[in-house]
Structure 1
Amino acid sequence: MAEEWANTHGGKLPSTREEKKQFKDLIKSKMITVDEENYKEAMEASFKVFSPQGIGPNLQKIINDSCSEVDSNSSDFWVMVAALKEFIASEGGGESPLEGSIPDMTSSTELYVNLQKTYQAKAEADFLVMEQRVKNLLKKINRDPASISKANIKSFCRNARKLAVCRYRLVEDEFNSPVQPELQKYLTDEDYGTAAGLYILLRAADRFAANYNKFPGQFDGEMDEDISRLKSTAVGLLNDLGCNGSAISEDLINEMCRYGASELHVVAAFVGGVASQEVIKLITRQFIPMSGTFIFNGIDHKSQLLLL
């Protein structure tokens, strides 16, 4: 269908809203009966025909990263990225290696299997090219050409379109020099103000404990004094972070003291579950871990990330 369209439109695929509608109508016009599922699926997936060709901006950013200029100290990942960069520029013709899988669709078994074999054959050919490029790069940087396994290269090829590089600030950097404009913005933002306030108060509570050898509100008889002390501590912390003039809600300060360093098991279980999920992501290097400081507000049942 795409070829037929291109032949009658100067070799171009649909680009405008009207052309895309006309392309769907072209597919529909080929239906013999109204209940042909494969044509319905083709109309639903027609957007894939006129999607931009080539690699996405995220992958482009990765292959242009300075780490893709590899040496003997480069990780296996960046060696494969360097090979991918070469592949895209040459054999791939601007595309990354083919994954080799196709989605379920309405088709005869014979046609589906034949199509699947075609995709798998192209994916295998791309993998072999990538494998050779990886070996060549390893030789070039004086590493064992077999040091990156075939399984790793094949997995890399299958997931090349979905690669992501995550870089994080150290907790120490965030504590000592958070991104002041971002923190200021969060503190004054209607949606993030409470989360930012809790972030400041959690840090203020730690400073409070270091100064007074107890957490705010830990002892009932000292509640009023602790509220005043915590407020002063929070203001001092804000000033240290460059957020002079910013204020924390009195309600949040009172709530932090009323809470009295309690550790509710249901909240601990939830936060522990989130933390373990992120650890699994980091260990397996699958899915994208959260970037930023996770704040769970049990009062409003709300979770937010602060990029500081």
Structure 2
Amino acid sequence: MASPSPKSPEQSEKTKQYDRQLRLWGDHGQSALEHGHICLINATALGTEVLKSIVLPGVGAVTIVDDKTVSDEDIGSNFFLECSSKGLNRGSETLRLLLELNPAVQGHAVQEPPDQILKENPEFFKSFSVVIATTLSEQTIQDLSQHLWDINVPLILCRSVGFLGSFRIQMREHAVVETHPDNEQTDLRLDYPFQALSDFLDSFDIDAVDLKDHGHIPWIVIIYKAIQKWKDSNQNRWPMSRKEKNEIKAIIEGFIRKDENGIPINEENFEEALKAVNTALMPTFLPLKSQELLYCSAATNLTKESTPFWIMCSALRGFVEGEGKGKLPVKGILPDMTASTDHYIKLQNLYRTQAAMDTEIVYRKVQQIVAQLHCDNISEAEVKLFCRHAHDLHLISGSSIVSEYQLTSSVASYIARYLEEPDVMMIHYVLLRAAEMFTSEHCRAPGDTEPEGDIPKLKACVTKVLGDVSCPPFPKDDHVQEMCRYGGAEIHSVSAFLGGCVAHEAIKIVTKQYKPVNNTFIYDAASTNTATFTF
């Protein structure tokens, strides 16, 4: 047999470079990342750390919007700036050194303030997969977030001040098909076996199998036979309780062969069967989250503007109501087990074939919907991926930053509820908002020039934020004093940690894999505590 042709040098080098991340999100995830375009507004220490962790895994392109020149403070906190960079454009200098990390990434620098771009060229932001912004004024934050909300471009707003950091993700809607759950449920269908599986399982007679083959029976067969024996004396019910599952285990133990002295023979496949009873007996059902998605208005009232996710949800609902008989498509994934090669491959092919048949039905329904709506085609690969992960679909329906900054009644009550508890992370959120208010009023960070003198001014901002949410002032000034002591400075270690977190979230959004934070993350480096809030 001729040996397979070797991969091209470009492919092998790329696979070697991105090996670890390919294990996380696969070839299709890497392809999505390489087609992504990230915009960073302001190349601060935090912003640069974010881009570093996006450039290294190979995002397609990055654009830095920054009209500032490099200062001594920038050189002191940003490892991607040199002494020779002083006086030059901060975005261009940062980009030049960042791109050295990965020559495959394209880079652009725009030397204009973001508020000017919003006024003169608002279409500029439409081409980006995600916009990441740091150190913006309150007004610019609201103008930018409203514009990006209107054009449906995700925004991540970041802050790093002293030992505090936070980020806020704004997305109108974000659907995740590949959520990568920590404990993915098996889909064996032993309670409702499809015909080919039923024929295969029924073909075994455990008592009649030769001793040499007894240790090669797949544990799925062993559990199925135990269930059938149990059901014969239990009115054909499905075992659910712990007592009933223990009865199944007792039946399996009865299948184990014994030697001439009556001692059970140690067979690995039967040990696996005993361990797998709890997961294998999980009944096949339509998960509540999947049910909510399939029957929500976005899936039942499709239009030409409907996204592929909702079109596939609609097609999947048709499958569940029809051919699936109330159940989702078979996943087609078989767990590892001790078995003969012939038995395992045959069993594996049964599940794969059934999964392919179910996917084909859903794909035909998708094509019918696409033809009726006259919208863009959806590939068979997309439908296959959707059906494979239909048990763990996840949807985030976000809220705008503008509504948060305007402190609507729901946001105000949410903040007030968390502030009722002592030593909660919501205090840091209030401080960061108050610091933004201070900066907008005084055109500098609190404590930048006179830490002691700024304490009452910052306290007044804190009191205003608290008053807007109908909460009393802080009993002590400790947090306010600490914020003034920071003087608006960025500590590189804090920015590096938070930058890595933000980069992870941006990659989740671009690849549409893993669940991103919804929607605010707070980090206190002094106590190493973190918290998430959903405004």
Q: Pick the TM interval, shorter chain.
A: over 0.9
- List, as ranges, runs of 4+ consecutive aligned residues in structure 1 with deviation greater than 4 Å: none
Would you tell me which structure has more strand in proportion to its own residues?
Answer: 2
Q: Secondary structure at the match of 1:304?
A: strand
Which residue of 271, 278, 281 corresponds with 1:40? 271
Aligned length: 301
* Alpha-carbon distance between aligned partners in 2 of 1:213 and 1:131, rounded to the nearest angstrom: 57
2:504 is matched with 277
* Alpha-carbon distance between aligned partners in 2 of 1:26 and 1:230, rounded to the nearest angstrom: 71
2:528 paired with 1:291: no
More RCO (CA 8 Å, sep 6+): 2
The answer to whether the Cα contact below 8 Å between 1:2 and 1:49 also exists between their aligned partners in 2 is no
The answer to whether the Cα contact below 8 Å between 1:217 and 1:223 also exists between their aligned partners in 2 is yes
Which residue of 55, 58, 68 corresponds with 2:289? 58
Name which of structure 1's ranges 199-208 and 16-25 shifts more when overlaid on structure 2: 16-25
Which residue of 410, 423, 441 corresponds with 1:211? 441
* Alpha-carbon distance between aligned partners in 2 of 1:244 and 1:101, rounded to the nearest angstrom: 53
2:344 is matched with 112
The answer to whether the Cα contact below 8 Å between 2:299 and 2:311 also exists between their aligned partners in 1 is yes
In structure 2, relative to structure 1, the CA distance for the partners of 1:246 and 1:109 (3 Å cut) is farther
* Alpha-carbon distance between aligned partners in 2 of 1:172 and 1:63, rounded to the nearest angstrom: 30
2:531 paired with 1:304: yes
1:253 is matched with 480
Q: Secondary structure at the match of 1:45?
A: helix
Which residue of 384, 396, 401 corresponds with 1:154? 384
- State the 1:246 CA deviation: 5.1
1:137 is matched with 369
The one-letter code of the counterpart of 2:452 is: D
2:430 is matched with 200
- State the 1:49 CA deviation: 3.7
Which residue of 233, 238, 242 corresponds with 2:466? 238
* Alpha-carbon distance between aligned partners in 1 of 2:467 and 2:291, rounded to the nearest angstrom: 41
* Alpha-carbon distance between aligned partners in 1 of 2:473 and 2:239, rounded to the nearest angstrom: 53
* Alpha-carbon distance between aligned partners in 1 of 2:492 and 2:266, rounded to the nearest angstrom: 55
2:456 paired with 1:228: yes
What's the CA shift string for 1:193-227, capped at 9, x where partnerless? 431111011010011111122211212xx322211
The answer to whether the Cα contact below 8 Å between 2:416 and 2:471 also exists between their aligned partners in 1 is no
Which residue of 306, 311, 314 corresponds with 1:74? 306
The answer to whether the Cα contact below 8 Å between 1:197 and 1:248 also exists between their aligned partners in 2 is no
2:407 is matched with 177
* Alpha-carbon distance between aligned partners in 1 of 2:457 and 2:523, rounded to the nearest angstrom: 24
Q: Secondary structure at the match of 1:305?
A: strand
Which residue of 313, 326, 340 corresponds with 1:94? 326
The one-letter code of the counterpart of 2:451 is: M
State the TM-score, normalizing by the size of structure 2.
0.54
In structure 2, relative to structure 1, the CA distance for the partners of 1:40 and 1:74 (3 Å cut) is same
Structure 1 stretches of 5 or more lacking a match? none
Would you tell me which structure has more helix in proportion to its own residues?
Answer: 1
Structure 2 stretches of 5 or more lacking a match? 1-225, 258-263
* Alpha-carbon distance between aligned partners in 2 of 1:92 and 1:246, rounded to the nearest angstrom: 58
* Alpha-carbon distance between aligned partners in 2 of 1:94 and 1:248, rounded to the nearest angstrom: 57
State the TM-score, normalizing by the size of structure 1.
0.93
- State the 1:141 CA deviation: 2.0
